Structure 1
Amino acid sequence: MDNTQKLNPIDREKLRREDEKLKKDVAEVDASLKTMEDFSSPEKLYEELVRSVKKYHPSTDLSMIEKAYRVASDAHKDQKRKSGEPYIIHPLCVGIILADLELDKESIAAGLLHDVVEDTVLTKEQVAELFGDEVALIVDGVTKLGQLSYSADKVEEQAENLRKMFLAMAKDIRVIMVKLADRLHNMRTLQYMRPEKQLEKARETIDIYSPIAQRLGLAKIKNELDDLSLKYLEPEAYYDLVHQINQKKSEREAFVEEIVEEVRVQIEDAGIEAQIYGRAKHFFSIYKKMVNQHKTLDQIYDLFAVRIIVETVKDCYAALGVIHEMYTPVPGRFKDYIAMPKPNMYQSLHTTLIGPNGTPFEIQIRTFEMHRVAEYGIAAHWKYKEASDGKTPGPEQEEEKLNWLRQILEWQQDLSDNREFMSLLKSDLNLFNENVYVFSPAGDVKTLPAGSCTIDFAYSVHSAVGNRMVGARVNGKLVPIETELHNGDRVEIITSQNSKGPSRDWLKVVKSTQAKNRINKWFREEKKEDNILRGKELLTSYAHSKGRTISDLLKPAYIEKVMHKYGFQDWDSVLAAIGHGGLKEGQVMNKLVECMERDRKMQMTDQDVLDSAAANAQSQDKAGVNDPEVLKHKGGITVRGIHDVAVRFSKCCSPIPGDEIVGFVTRGRGITIHRTDCINIMNLPEAERSRLIEAEWAPEQDKGESYSVSIVLYANNRTGLLVDISKIFTERDIDVSAMNVRTSKQGTATIDMTFHVRSTNELRDLTEKLRQIPNVLDVERQKG
């Protein structure tokens, strides 16, 4: 029975109203995340694009954009999106996002055409002929990025894909800007994708694309990508946050309006021209603070902020003086990003104050130009020059923003190990928000990750300074080189020509990716010969301990596989990586052994297996045999019409006797047995379904053999719940091999369990007993 039916009519009506209010709150937020109106007509969307471009474009000649729209519309004319809309709506929305960033017409044309090379008959050469090499280069770059697959589990593939992305960005930074616009619109329409695809895209967005948008200063893009990702990755937390924020929305709005009006009066009285308005903090930022700082919503200072935009830097500091006279500043909550900009060139004054009723709030003060850079990042520098000098458009002041990209490209040349490259890249992206600002003796500002020490500072000056470092002074005093630096410290590095170079212990204390990379590079280059010898010794010794002969394993074909797997160009580099600890000898040995055993087995190919199955089936049909010949395999499985093929159980769905099963022909590994309701089998592409083959449990299977199975148990958490669950397993003499328990804020416990049973009957009896435990809501078997 529905739980709501147990309530009295008054409580039931109250619950219904609360549910309706929550749905309304969620709908409002979902609408706010979609900053652009839904259009059913491509022509109306195109009109919106033209209006957006004309707001900032100095020329009335938009023929290139119109031509791009017509070409793209014709190329995509028979295609539909998963939502059922004409496909051309997607490129048009990408174009509008780029126009909102006020990008040049080449970028917008490329945005309209970004899918034509990949999804239609048009070629890169035809695009170049119609629109020029510049547009063709951007379209080609975006097309290649679109072909990259993201997998958090496949480090080598992921690293290689990201290397290609950064190389494309280096050729023309507009490639990644079009790609970000493409990703933003795809995230806005993610509800039409399968749930597993939604999770994959959201994870890729928050791990890779959102940090890149932040690195390039594209706050508008970054904030929306974050909020949309949170909506799919943590839906429960997202909607709970939406509900909490909307509960006191009217009170907060009234408070902000009051502050804005008070500030406006005082700023005008001081003779400062300014725009003043309130701004709500985006959801992901609030969520991250609540999680990282273990705070409730009421403890977050800057749920909203008042923003003051003025003409000059002098006015910024004058306005700050007025504000600090009006309200009491919170100690330690003032940040001057004008004097010390963030690495993405963000500039602003941030100060947290206590309001009239004791409520803390934040004020941000910046110039109009700073505001433009804060919102549009590197896109703010793509100005049209044709109105003044007739030259082609291009970036004017993005040099400092691209320093990060150049550093990434430098790593690509230095790091042949894909795992190390991925580790450095993710570390660099994750550390971006937390910075410390220190000074050189000459007064130059260096921006380092929070927690950095004097070694990080030395390598930020130059790799030669770090390699020859023997000591340091902070604020004029000699300090240990591992001393942590703080904002405003003045640092002097002491070097010596007699220095023996960095120590491996430095890698344990440095925080900056740059320092780690340069220390590792020194060890690779200075001691490469020693590392090669040490790597060879470690590999030989490990092979001997496993009873293997190293000469049997070091065949050219096997070596080639290892080099490809770990991204090295030659065998010496693999040995050197083992020698300096970048790669474990066990990893390399396992790959070599895997190659050798695969070589020895000489298994049948997929096509041979399928041909054999078909031939056997045909011969039996001709002979008039009612029961086709079956072959029994380990585990009590029979596969129809196949001889001498290895059979193994899939780990994704863990079939057990009694389940309906099916075989899947795998490349070079025989047949894998899956449950027919396995998610992987149900979502199998049509092209792969020819590799499915009939399979069933043999009637005479070994009744004593047990099989691994996984379940998920949902319950209202209470003391003694796990004891009651364990008791049922103990009574049946069932050993639990793995268990994972997590509890939501609402007190719902989710318990993942893996154990061994002999049949579906035993599993059914067990789950029925588990369901009878007090507070247990449901028990499900994992489907893959």
Structure 2
Amino acid sequence: MKEEYTIDLLIQKILTDDKQYDLSKIITAYEFAAKAHEGQFRSSGQPYIIHPLAVAYILLELGMDTDTICAAMLHDVVEDTPVTLDEVKKRFGQDVAMLVDGVTKLNQVPIFNKEEQQAENVRKMLLAMSQDIRVIIIKLADRLHNMRTLKFRPSVKQRNTAHETMNIYAPIAHRLGMRGIKEELEDLAFHYLDPFAYSEIEHILEIKKSEREAFITSIKDTIAYRFRDQEFIKPPQIDGRVKSIYSIYKKMFVHHKSIEEIYDKYAVRIIVSTVGECYNVLGLVHDMFRPIPNRFKDYISTPKANMYQSLHTTVLGKEGIPFEIQIRTWDMHATAEYGIAAHWKYKEGIQRTDKMDQRLAWVRQVIEAQQTSDDVEEIVRIIKTDLAPEDIVVMTPKGDSISLPVDSTVIDYAYRIHTQIGHKTIGAKIDGKLVPLDYKLHTGEICEIITSNEPNKGPNRAWLNIARTNEAKSKIRSWFKKECREENIITGKTELEKEFRHFRIRVPEEELGEFLGDDLKRHNCSTLDDFYASIGYGGVMLSKIMPRLKDKYIKLYQTDDEPETAVIKPVHKPSSGIILDKIEDCTVKFAQCCNPLPGDEIVGFITRGHGISVHTVNCTNYLSAVKRNNHEELARWMDVQWTDSEQTSLQTSIEVTALDRVGLVYDITAILTEARIPIVHSSSRNLKNGNALFEATITIASTEQLNNLFEKLRRVKNVVSVERAKI
């Protein structure tokens, strides 16, 4: 990493590179950007132009072309200065302007919250990327330099930027095969997200640094000595490395392994000229060192989803220390290190080949999946799940390999093969044995899909909860969207009315379209029927929009801003003839079976000698009474509601499920402390599936406060779910 980037440093790099550049155009772009950013400074105190220079230098190291370097110089002028895109187009051409526009964030749209704004910016970036892949390469270089200088930003900004980097940019770099950038982004983000664990691993690696370097050198020398009598087209290159800090962390803390159990923390890479030489070298190293069983992977015959190819084998040295050997050709090495950028490093211009189209197919899948969900934030969730580094490889009965994310099910596999096969799936066989549709696939298994002969066979709505990949969910939603519109409208309207009753939202029918206007725009719906249909086929998640609609309802239809508390308001006379006309004299208690909070829809139960017990309408005790339909028992249940008087704080229990890691409980309790929410009791334990469960009883004022708390807890790293405890 260069601490100080200058135009002279950039020119020197261009002149010493073996690639032809239009130096005058690059210098003109620098001068234009320097003038536009004049008087602007970064958080470090450096002139702002240092940042575009740094991004341009990173792209030069990747071997990118002249227009990409110019766009890097100009990538912030439209966003941060009075310069317009038309000016950029007139001075530097259509291509440079298109690249600058692709990496420029959208202007703030009033109806978007922070998460939706982020999602829309990512969507815009991916749309531009699908037209020209250089957009995302510039964005990755931009993010890399910002992460390298993140120490100058406030701590809250550091964590937010690190989260975004880990969840969005590192997975994209992985899918594009840009290993070096992906690993550096992960390590830099990890440093800010869990500094304690980062320092701990860094300390472990630093303790025996000289011993490690000596070990790797001895292995390289041993291999080089053995190769001296072998015939190669040109002498192999032998390199050694230690695994990245974040990669070691994932295996130590996520997979619960000690550093001694991480077999590939040391790696030696051998680069040769042909595929034949790769397999010859494999035989030589297995003759020199003892291979560890089940630790050989052939990514040459079965490339990874990002087109990565190499032979991987883990062996034991004479000292008994395991280490990994990677064997690849020079072309494979270029793809492994530079990924998609290798097309510019070794070729002039972009080559629209089948291989390039294959690499970019996932971009279209991500965009299509988001469009079927009608939820802008879906695009971020897709990147976090479908582009995760861990993949499994499942075989078809014909011997073809299918790459899928870890934990993918038979449904995901069926839709990956073909949309119609997915729709017509009725069963599956794994290695010849029947399995259920929710069976989770594993690497090496042979999966055969059993399909129906019925011409109109379609998916089941329950598959949306079974599918792991957003590609499969998107295709399922698309089928229901196309084939079952009338059914979707009825289902969606029923679900919305149910949620409105639960949240006590009573909007006049003639004002409903205006009340839901913003959400219709958010989800690209022209009419209320479109919105109902979107709810019906799963494109709109009511659980996400209801808290916001409740807030809007209170602002528009309720005038009293006093906090809510519970008193009883009789709505009808019970059949017994009892009249509760002096309700303030009646004892009221809140049922512990459901822990109602202000904002919940509630119902009262007349107890014998203990006043009235308040329950939620979803309480199992109340639902059981309704189901039994006993007239005498039902007469003891009465309508009650929250009214506006004094502030009430009530206890409720929450459950947080997360991937177990160091510092998890600290991060959760820090959120509670920051929100000034008293903790009555808390505990944590490990679950059989490797997750951790944090349980707490807290004092809370309302469901609104609880929902805000849940939103913050869901942003904590590795958290899987947050919900009220079911008693």
In the superposition, the TM-score normalised over structure 2's length comes to: 0.73
One of 490, 496, 499 as aligned partner of 1:539:
496
Contact 1:417 1:567 in 2 (8 A): no
Match of 1:464 in 2: 420
2:483 matched to 1:521?
no
One of 406, 411, 414 as aligned partner of 1:450:
406
Contact 1:156 1:565 in 2 (8 A): no
Q: 1:199 to 1:741 in 2, by over 3 A?
A: farther
Match of 1:46 in 2: 7
Q: Which amino acid aligns with 2:191?
A: K
Greater CA drift, 592-601 or 119-128:
592-601
Contact 1:437 1:487 in 2 (8 A): yes
The Cα RMSD (Å) is 3.5
Contact 1:217 1:375 in 2 (8 A): yes
Give the secondary-structure state (helix, strand or coil) at the position aligned to 1:306.
Answer: strand
* CA distance, structure 1, for counterparts of residue 87 and residue 334 of structure 2: 36
2:435 matched to 1:511?
no
* CA distance, structure 1, for counterparts of residue 160 and residue 301 of structure 2: 40
One of 384, 389, 402 as aligned partner of 1:426:
384
Contact 2:75 2:104 in 1 (8 A): yes
- Structure 1: which 5+ runs fail to align? 1-35, 387-391, 605-632, 636-703, 709-734, 744-749, 758-784
Q: CA deviation at 1:563?
A: 2.1
2:367 matched to 1:409?
yes
Give the secondary-structure state (helix, strand or coil) at the position aligned to 2:387.
Answer: helix
* CA distance, structure 2, for counterparts of residue 323 and residue 401 of structure 1: 32
One of 313, 334, 340 as aligned partner of 2:296:
334
Match of 2:141 in 1: 181
One of 272, 286, 289 as aligned partner of 1:310:
272
Contact 1:110 1:136 in 2 (8 A): yes
Q: 1:569 to 1:50 in 2, by over 3 A?
A: farther
**Superposed CA offset, 1:63-114 (max 9, x none):** 1111111222222232222212122111111111000110001101111111
Contact 2:513 2:528 in 1 (8 A): no
Match of 1:366 in 2: 328
In the superposition, the TM-score normalised over structure 1's length comes to: 0.68
2:252 matched to 1:294?
no
* CA distance, structure 1, for counterparts of residue 176 and residue 31 of structure 2: 31
* CA distance, structure 2, for counterparts of residue 752 and residue 590 of structure 1: 23
* CA distance, structure 2, for counterparts of residue 588 and residue 80 of structure 1: 39
Match of 2:77 in 1: 116
State, as a whole percentage, how many aligned pairs show the same letter.
44
Match of 1:126 in 2: 87
* CA distance, structure 1, for counterparts of residue 452 and residue 83 of structure 2: 61
Q: 1:522 to 1:422 in 2, by over 3 A?
A: farther
Structural mapping, 1:600-749, within 5 Å: 600=557, 736-737=678-679
Contact 1:155 1:422 in 2 (8 A): no
For the pair shown, which has the larger CA radius of gyration, 1 or 2?
Answer: 1
2:173 matched to 1:213?
yes
Contact 2:563 2:647 in 1 (8 A): no
Match of 2:122 in 1: 162
**Superposed CA offset, 1:205-247 (max 9, x none):** 1111111111111111111111111111111111121111100
- Structure 2: which 5+ runs fail to align? 565-645, 651-676, 686-693, 702-727
Contact 1:469 1:496 in 2 (8 A): yes
Aligned residue pairs, count: 583
Give the secondary-structure state (helix, strand or coil) at the position aligned to 1:341.
Answer: coil
Q: CA deviation at 1:756?
A: 9.8
Structural mapping, 1:522-601, within 5 Å: 522-541=479-498, 543=500, 549=506, 551-552=508-509, 554-564=511-521, 568-580=525-537, 583=540, 591-592=548-549, 594-600=551-557
Match of 1:136 in 2: 97
Q: 1:146 to 1:395 in 2, by over 3 A?
A: farther
Match of 1:675 in 2: none
Contact 1:562 1:592 in 2 (8 A): no
Contact 1:383 1:395 in 2 (8 A): no
**Superposed CA offset, 1:235-276 (max 9, x none):** 111112111110011111111111111111112323233101
Q: Which amino acid aligns with 1:319?
A: V
Q: 1:261 to 1:120 in 2, by over 3 A?
A: same
**Superposed CA offset, 1:420-444 (max 9, x none):** 55444432133x4232231352x43
Contact 1:438 1:485 in 2 (8 A): no
**Superposed CA offset, 1:23-60 (max 9, x none):** xxxxxxxxxxxxx2322xx6xx2232223334444326
* CA distance, structure 2, for counterparts of residue 116 and residue 540 of structure 1: 48
Give the secondary-structure state (helix, strand or coil) at the position aligned to 2:44.
Answer: coil
* CA distance, structure 2, for counterparts of residue 146 and residue 50 of structure 1: 34
One of 53, 57, 60 as aligned partner of 1:96:
57
Q: 1:367 to 1:146 in 2, by over 3 A?
A: farther
Contact 2:373 2:477 in 1 (8 A): no
Q: CA deviation at 1:356?
A: 0.6
Q: CA deviation at 1:527?
A: 2.1
Match of 2:449 in 1: 493
* CA distance, structure 2, for counterparts of residue 155 and residue 568 of structure 1: 20
Match of 2:241 in 1: 279
Q: CA deviation at 1:169?
A: 1.5
Q: Which amino acid aligns with 1:301?
A: Y
* CA distance, structure 1, for counterparts of residue 378 and residue 194 of structure 2: 29
Match of 1:436 in 2: 393
Contact 1:417 1:568 in 2 (8 A): no
Q: 1:536 to 1:753 in 2, by over 3 A?
A: closer
Give the secondary-structure state (helix, strand or coil) at the position aligned to 1:178.
Answer: helix
Q: Which has the higher contact order (CA 8 A, sep 6+)?
A: 2
* CA distance, structure 2, for counterparts of residue 101 and residue 754 of structure 1: 52
* CA distance, structure 1, for counterparts of residue 328 and residue 259 of structure 2: 27
Q: Which amino acid aligns with 1:350?
A: H
Q: CA deviation at 1:581?
A: 5.4
Contact 1:455 1:482 in 2 (8 A): yes
* CA distance, structure 2, for counterparts of residue 268 and residue 444 of structure 1: 38
Match of 2:316 in 1: 354
* CA distance, structure 1, for counterparts of residue 131 and residue 511 of structure 2: 39
Q: CA deviation at 1:170?
A: 1.9
* CA distance, structure 2, for counterparts of residue 260 and residue 198 of structure 1: 39
Q: 1:358 to 1:262 in 2, by over 3 A?
A: same
Q: Which amino acid aligns with 2:26?
A: I
**Superposed CA offset, 1:513-572 (max 9, x none):** 322222232233322211211222343455457766553574332020332455644322
Match of 2:157 in 1: 197
Contact 2:505 2:553 in 1 (8 A): no
Match of 1:617 in 2: none
Q: CA deviation at 1:363?
A: 0.6
Q: 1:166 to 1:530 in 2, by over 3 A?
A: same
Give the secondary-structure state (helix, strand or coil) at the position aligned to 1:81.
Answer: coil
Match of 1:380 in 2: 342
Give the secondary-structure state (helix, strand or coil) at the position aligned to 1:555.
Answer: helix
Q: Which amino acid aligns with 1:38?
A: E
* CA distance, structure 2, for counterparts of residue 583 and residue 414 of structure 1: 10
Q: Which amino acid aligns with 2:370?
A: Q
Q: Which amino acid aligns with 2:174?
A: Q
Contact 1:554 1:592 in 2 (8 A): no
One of 105, 120, 124 as aligned partner of 2:66:
105
Give the secondary-structure state (helix, strand or coil) at the position aligned to 2:468.
Answer: coil
